[in-house]
Structure 1
Amino acid sequence: MLLSLVALSLLACPAFAATAEQWRTRSIYQVITDEFALEPGAVVPECVLSDSTWCGGTWNSIRENLDYIQDAGFTAIWISPVSQNYQGPRTAYGDPYHGYWPADIQQLNEHFGTANELMALTAEVHRRDMYIMVDIVINNVMATSLTPDLSSYMFKDQEHYHPYCPVDYSNLTSEQQCWLGDTTVPLPDVNTENADVISQYSSWIANLVQTYNIDGLRIDAAKHVHASFWPAFAQSAGVFCMGEVFDPSVSTVSQWQGPQALDSVLNYPLYYALQAAFTLPGPQNMSALTSVLSQSKAAYKDTTLLGNFLENQDVPRWHNLSVDPQSMYNAMTLGFLSDGIPIVYYGQEQSFSGNSDPYNREPLWPSNYTKTTAYELMTTLNTLRNFLINTTDWATQPTNVLTSTDNGLAFQKGNIVTVLTNIGSPPQNFTQTSFQSPWPAETIAIDVIACRQFVAASGGYIGVEYTKGGVPVVLADSSFLVGSGLCNATLGLQDGSQGQTIVQSFASRDRPLTWLLTFITITISLGLV
């Protein structure tokens, strides 16, 4: 009966086979299957993070809890690898609950469910007009010795693997041919230059995508495979491919995007720059951020396809690095409203604070899926972004920095101006970010985050004061928001139900801008860049 229901669902929801252009319009919520949700009636496990073991999440439990993701405005999910993982005694590093220790990748991971249940998940995702991205591991398999029994893997011949050597991370050839992991849990490196390997991988990925109706792939450790492998592999997949290139350098990461590599890469250079600019305590190095934004424009084939993130399963939670919630709100807002595809790692909205693996892989259910302040901010940002994408060419418009100093950044993308700061939560009555907006004098701009009005002064100048702390400000011409559902569309407030303090910044024509700047004793004087 289940198979019949799945078949009917798939007939009702045609394969999306989503392209890069289509993924550009999406925002992604990343899930580790084992940690996201439990099935109804399941016994709640203790789930001790340091044990690095199974906690009980399944594909069915993701399907049962998609409302939580979709209600926040996300239009795609990314789930952890679905292939069979190591099966054997518990290792010194725990169990493969995460999915990144592949064995025979032709088989599904029985811990997460059956083929029918995975198809039911993808069918339900598509019924909601969402996309599904699946994580895959191509570079390596997992073993418990340096001389593993190859009969348990898809590739069973010694020639299908590079000989063992430890990785020298200062040498790209070594990174691509030597074994990740260590001698306790080695990760034998698949020889992706071998013709048989190339052929079998191409057949496998085409079958996986078509069988389970997958819309996109996130590729683990993409840098550890020679870039020349990826074009044919991606063509066989026939869907959007985003690679992991774990490196802070734009010049390095950008090499893996384009016709000779992959559609997209995770934006690690931006991740590190956001840390440098916004974490508290931290260096508050805003110039590092503007530098990365500038370098990215020059180096990447298409910045609008990059995967923007603050957290994932390989790095510490933002709240572990920064004690101030506004630091995350500001950094996150940039990821949503600048070039690229926003990605939120499950639990970020709950301010989880785990350090590195395994502590950054907390179960989500103890949060009771509370719609926190961070969740509501994500909802607002997604609502705005989805509206812009559905009504304009905003997604393909370039991001341009309007102004920047040590504590403030204003940038424009399409018809939206975003103003960010790294001063943190405490109110600062005399701190201000001022910039020349794209709007003529007397234009009413709405901050869609707080539903406040700003009025452009002579020359289009707008100032943002931080009397309520260093909150992000996202401005749009009030007439542009009609139909968005945000701030009563234009903040007309005909019924007075959303009465907010109306802020007029540099708007009074009988008070020259120079007089106001003299009056404000502590001002961030931001020069145009």
Structure 2
Amino acid sequence: MPTLKRLAIWTLLATQTVVPAFAASAEQWAKRSIYQIITDRFALPPGADPTKCDAGEHTWCGGTWNSIRQNLDYIQNAGFTAIWISPVNQNYVGPKTPYGDPYHGYWIQDNSQLNARFGTADDLKALSKELHARKMFLMVDVVVNNVMATSTSPDYSKYMFKDKSMYHEYCPIQWGNHDSEQTCWFGDDKVPLPDVDTKNPTVISTYHTWVRELVEEYGIDGLRIDAAKHVNKDFWPGFVEAAGVFCIGEVYGGMEVNTIAQWQGPAALPSVLNYPLYAALKEAFVIPGTRNTSALAEVLLQEQQNFVDTTVLGNFMENHDVPRWHNMSVDPQSMYNAMAFMFMTDGIPIVYAGQEQYFSGNSDPWNREPLWVSGYARTPAYELIARLNLVRNYLIHSTDWVTQPTNVLTVSDNGIGVMKGPVVSVLTNIGSPPRNGSSLAVQSPYESSTALIDVMNCRQFVVGSDGWLDVEYTKGGVATILVPRDLLSGGPICPPSPSSQNVKGGQKQPSNGVRATVIGDWAIGFMALLTGAMMW
């Protein structure tokens, strides 16, 4: 257990490095991990009926900004240092459409007003204030590309931009045609989404004023931008400057790194969601699947060659637009290993609410389940995430780990070995069943007999000749994350004990990859102080 003197030092550091809530930079966000929330589906107000939410009904279930604030312990105890919430602005108000109600927040009606369904201005400010008191960041989703209508000839007076000239003329999108994707309307004739003309000078200046006031009024630390690639690229630098905070854009795609990388940089956006990595993680880890770890290694290389800054890419395995991982993969170890990869390589890890509860919905709306049905249980996945956050936050404070590029050490049909800074991660796709005689050999740059600690279970590895590490899978395909023992000295992770055991050429650990009760209350408290000290 850390001494009171050490905790006092962390507290002092935290109070000396506070920055304004509305000035969060890309460098600061690179040190965060994000928990993504659909506001309507995270938590209910006291007294609400928890049995009345059917994701298939496409309608309101009752979550609010206040109910998020009242349940932040669940998020912070898992080690997250930021949340990303649904768009906060006014959505369509009217009868239920053929595609349901705008519970998700993306059917914008008037960006100049808040969404009364989620609460009041004071409620949103209270959420922001409470997050900042916990040394956490607030990321808000924004929709700039379009508004929502129920016909192709809408009443423009209800929108923030009230003149038809501020929108492109109606046309259905021809997918694959760049100009069409930039200027034509999302949706269809039942629920069309009028496309805002973001080359119009009045639109540009109005959006700049709007986003600046939104960020400052509610103490927002970052923005996630919906459908960013459907807006002309040269619109974004001015918008980002007006916002004054880190912005991450949705540039939907597959493993086309070159195409997506064009949207990051001084002439575009500070960051984008890492869809190439998402596609590659599926290729490498989904069971049953292709087990194509070579594709994952290739994506890592291409991203380092093509992106301006891989440390701020938004890494994810699930979100509200794609099927749940558990819907695609039958083995929980596939999720654990892919998640460890996401946390321990370049980029900002993002976990979508419900992934830690093994939710298994397919595409929209089934991937938008209410979280409260889980009882907010501390599942093995939840504990794994807490462990990964603790390790990642410790490394960020103790070393320059976060800015170090990830290097591939080995690739095989059974998995992949990578190194970022001083940390070697050996990740496998063989699944849960024990594999006697099965192992993954990784050649590290460490000298023979160097002591490394597997921070997932606190067992010691001793490096073999020529730097070789041999990870055995007699207990199943668990993730292995190896950190030099000296680097952990004096910290909250794997303090030395008389029962410490050396393992040379193998490992012994629980099949879920997480030691039971490894995250105690003292460690969570230490982590809260630690993250405050290093990022505020």
Task: Give TM-score, length-normalised by structure 2.
Answer: 0.90
1:193 aligns with 2:199: yes
| Structure 2: runs of 5 or more not aligned | 1-17, 508-536
- Is residue 247–residue 268 contact of structure 1 (8 Å, CA) maintained in 2? yes
Counterpart of 1:9 in structure 2 is none
Counterpart of 1:145 in structure 2 is 151
1:493 aligns with 2:497: yes
Counterpart of 1:120 in structure 2 is 126
Counterpart of 1:97 in structure 2 is 103
Q: Secondary structure in 1 aligned to 2:180?
A: helix
Give me the whole-angstrom Cα distance separating, in 2, the residues matched to 1:139 and 1:16.
23
CA-to-partner distance for each residue in 1:486-511, whole Å, 9 max, x for gaps? 22x2xx313x4xx6x6421189xxxx
- Is residue 134–residue 218 contact of structure 1 (8 Å, CA) maintained in 2? yes
TM-aligned CA deviation for residue 392 of structure 1? 1.3
Counterpart of 2:503 in structure 1 is 503
TM-aligned CA deviation for residue 25 of structure 1? 0.5
Counterpart of 1:132 in structure 2 is 138
Alignment of 1:460-499 (within 5 A): 460-487=467-494, 489=495, 492-494=496-498, 496=499
Counterpart of 1:365 in structure 2 is 372
1:160 aligned to which of 143, 166, 186? 166
2:63 aligned to which of 57, 67, 70? 57
2:29 aligned to which of 9, 23, 26? 23
TM-aligned CA deviation for residue 483 of structure 1? 3.1
TM-aligned CA deviation for residue 41 of structure 1? 2.5
TM-aligned CA deviation for residue 431 of structure 1? 1.3
1:204 aligns with 2:201: no
Counterpart of 1:69 in structure 2 is 75
TM-aligned CA deviation for residue 81 of structure 1? 0.4
CA-to-partner distance for each residue in 1:65-101, whole Å, 9 max, x for gaps? 1010001110000001000000000001110000000
2:438 aligned to which of 431, 441, 457? 431
1:448 aligns with 2:452: no
Letter matched to residue 296 of structure 2: L
1:214 aligns with 2:220: yes
Counterpart of 2:91 in structure 1 is 85
TM-aligned CA deviation for residue 35 of structure 1? 0.3
Give me the whole-angstrom Cα distance separating, in 2, the residues matched to 1:340 and 1:14.
23
Alignment of 1:340-359 (within 5 A): 340-359=347-366
Counterpart of 2:298 in structure 1 is 291
Letter matched to residue 99 of structure 1: G
Give me the whole-angstrom Cα distance separating, in 2, the residues matched to 1:482 and 1:179.
57
After superposition, the CA RMSD in angstroms is: 1.3
1:409 aligned to which of 416, 422, 433? 416
- Is residue 13–residue 127 contact of structure 1 (8 Å, CA) maintained in 2? no
1:320 aligned to which of 317, 322, 327? 327
Give me the whole-angstrom Cα distance separating, in 2, the residues matched to 1:196 and 1:506.
64
TM-aligned CA deviation for residue 186 of structure 1? 0.6
Give me the whole-angstrom Cα distance separating, in 2, the residues matched to 1:321 and 1:43.
31
Alignment of 1:203-352 (within 5 A): 203-248=209-254, 249-352=256-359
TM-aligned CA deviation for residue 484 of structure 1? 3.0
- CA 1:168–1:220: 2 relative to 1, 3 Å: same
Q: Secondary structure in 2 aligned to 1:293?
A: helix
- Is residue 462–residue 502 contact of structure 2 (8 Å, CA) maintained in 1? no
TM-aligned CA deviation for residue 14 of structure 1? 4.5
TM-aligned CA deviation for residue 18 of structure 1? 0.2
TM-aligned CA deviation for residue 40 of structure 1? 2.2
CA-to-partner distance for each residue in 1:378-434, whole Å, 9 max, x for gaps? 111100110111121111011100111122210000111000011111110111111
- Is residue 333–residue 431 contact of structure 2 (8 Å, CA) maintained in 1? yes
- Is residue 461–residue 506 contact of structure 1 (8 Å, CA) maintained in 2? no
Counterpart of 1:377 in structure 2 is 384
Give me the whole-angstrom Cα distance separating, in 1, the residues matched to 2:444 and 2:453.
13
Q: Secondary structure in 1 aligned to 2:248?
A: strand
TM-aligned CA deviation for residue 15 of structure 1? 2.6
| Structure 1 residue ranges (4+ consecutive) displaced by more than 4 angstroms after TM superposition | none
Give me the whole-angstrom Cα distance separating, in 2, the residues matched to 1:13 and 1:264.
21
CA-to-partner distance for each residue in 1:212-269, whole Å, 9 max, x for gaps? 0100000000000011000000000000000000011111110110000111000000
CA-to-partner distance for each residue in 1:45-77, whole Å, 9 max, x for gaps? 511111010111000000001010001110000
Letter matched to residue 497 of structure 2: L
CA-to-partner distance for each residue in 1:15-53, whole Å, 9 max, x for gaps? 342000110100000001000001223233511111010
TM-aligned CA deviation for residue 13 of structure 1? 9.1
Counterpart of 1:34 in structure 2 is 40
Letter matched to residue 217 of structure 2: T
Percent same amino acid at aligned positions?
62
Counterpart of 1:180 in structure 2 is 186
CA-to-partner distance for each residue in 1:305-331, whole Å, 9 max, x for gaps? 100000000000000000100000111
Q: Secondary structure in 1 aligned to 2:242?
A: helix
- Is residue 457–residue 506 contact of structure 1 (8 Å, CA) maintained in 2? no
Give me the whole-angstrom Cα distance separating, in 2, the residues matched to 1:475 and 1:123.
37
Give me the whole-angstrom Cα distance separating, in 1, the residues matched to 2:450 and 2:200.
62
Letter matched to residue 503 of structure 2: V
CA-to-partner distance for each residue in 1:286-311, whole Å, 9 max, x for gaps? 11111111110110000001000000
Task: Give TM-score, length-normalised by structure 1.
Answer: 0.91
Give me the whole-angstrom Cα distance separating, in 1, the residues matched to 2:19 and 2:311.
27
Give me the whole-angstrom Cα distance separating, in 1, the residues matched to 2:490 and 2:407.
26
- CA 1:111–1:287: 2 relative to 1, 3 Å: same
Give me the whole-angstrom Cα distance separating, in 1, the residues matched to 2:375 and 2:482.
33
Give me the whole-angstrom Cα distance separating, in 1, the residues matched to 2:242 and 2:386.
35
- Is residue 13–residue 123 contact of structure 1 (8 Å, CA) maintained in 2? no
Q: Secondary structure in 2 aligned to 1:106?
A: strand
Letter matched to residue 318 of structure 1: W
Q: Secondary structure in 2 aligned to 1:247?
A: coil
- Is residue 278–residue 331 contact of structure 1 (8 Å, CA) maintained in 2? yes
